[in-house]
Amino acid sequence: MSRQSRKLDHLKYTLLLEDGPNEPGFDDLNLVHNCLPNVDLDSIDLTTSVAGLRLKHPIIVNAMTGGALDVLDIHSLLAEFAKKTNSAMAVGSQFAAIENPELIPTYSIVRKIYPDGIIFANIGAYATPDQAARAVEMIEANAIQIHFNAAQEIMMTEGDRNFKGYLENLQRIVDKVNVPVIAKEVGFGIAREQVAQLINAGVAAIDIGGSGGTNFLAIEAARINKNLSQDELRWGIPTVVSAIETKSVLAPGVSMIVSGGVRRPLDIIKSLVLGGSAVGIAGMFLKMLQRNGLNNAILEFNQMLDTIKKYMLILGINTIDKSSSVPLVIGGQTRQWMQIRNCDITKYAVKKQDLV
């Protein structure tokens, strides 16, 4: 199966399949209401920083497509959506265009539509440093996502089987490219042991890509008409668990992007309180655009931003930076996981308040 038709299949099955079956874990998180918010709704500032880049708000349109001539329209629509919502945006894996330059316009269209946007390049961790540099150049990217997707690859009949040397390769990519590097999972989460290794390799941000949203095992299985067991479909670290694991070892100056099943404004505010500087959303935006059209998707997006501001108000904060001062009580399976992993979650619940 060619890389181009695989890209089309990914879009097709994302639209056909639901999230999960894992839950991302946001229901295990309880934000503590503030009855005395010293905040004016109109003064709430949604700007944030990721990997040293300033974003107008904390929602990133995450990596999805490019790489087939037939996806030009949908990639243009995603770029239009990102532009009209002032969102940062990532393109999908650019390896297809590295192999076949005829496909370059299916990625560079994003920069053409959104000339002043914050745009992330994207390539797999197997790419050579030169190929990563070409991916950056291809779209004049502001940063590059290096994706890790071993669970997805081993499910694909035509996928990679040898994952040796990725960390050392990542380090070489960091040394070569002239933009910040974001290490990214695609929906199976990152544990703290690997976060520490990725940080040592010099990444500027970690996009945790946890389990509970778009499920690439389900998508790959649907492509080859294969039935997977619930055990297989539930592989991966739920998003909230991965975010807490990541935060527990995050170095100063390295940003966390929370993604994987982030859907509601409440998920977004909880992700920020967990220590995320931003969230990434992929599958849901594709579905919103496909089902409701560009204008309605923009309206829905703006409603999400308004709702986030309202949550910030009743939590007593007026900037994204202050999210870390909001107390959060963690229960359910997330709490059990963290206790067994000897990860202190009381620090989320008991905080020195830093009210405005």
Ligand X SMILES: Cc1cc2nc3c(=O)[nH]c(=O)nc-3n(C[C@H](O)[C@H](O)[C@H](O)COP(=O)(O)O)c2cc1C
**Which amino acid would we find at residue 80?**
E
Q: Does the footprint of ligand X cover residue 260 (CB under 6 A)?
A: yes
Q: Which two tokens stand for residue 132?
A: 């990563």
| Tokens 């994706």 belong to residue | 147
- Euclidean distance between CA atoms 153 and 171, whole angstroms: 22
Binding residue (CB under 6 A) for ligand X from 93, 108, 171, 248: 93
Residue among 25 and 92 whose Cβ is closer to ligand X = 92
C-alpha R_g of the chain: 19
Specify the residue, 125 or 199, whose C-beta has the smaller distance to ligand X. 125
CA-CA-CA-CA torsion sign (290, 291, 296, 297): negative
Residue nearest to ligand X (CB): 213
- Of residues 135-154, which lie at the interface with ligand X (CB under 6 A)? 145, 147
Only one of the segments 28-36, 258-266, 297-305, 320-328 lies at the binding site for ligand X (rule: CB under 6 A); that segment is: 258-266
Separation between Cα atoms, residue 107 and residue 121, nearest integer Å? 9
Q: Residue 11 interacts with ligand X (CB under 6 A)?
A: yes
Candidates 214, 246, 248, 271; binder of ligand X (CB under 6 A) is 214
Burial classification of residue 136, based on how many CB atoms lie within 10 Å of its CB (0-12 exposed, 13-18 middle, 19 or more buried): buried
51 contacts ligand X (rule: CB under 6 A)? no
Q: Which of 58, 187, 238, 316 binds ligand X (CB under 6 A)?
A: 187
The single residue listed with the structure tokens 């002239």 is 178
Instruction: By CB under 6 A, name the one of 14, 87, 142, 242 that touches ligand X.
Output: 14
Specify the amino acid at residue 336.
Q
Q: In this complex, which beta carbon is closest to ligand X, that of residue 210 or of residue 275?
A: 210
Distance between CA 50 and CA 266 in Å, rounded? 20
Binding site for ligand X (CB under 6 A): 10-11, 14, 62-65, 92-93, 122, 145, 147, 184, 186-187, 209, 213-214, 259-262, 281-284, 286
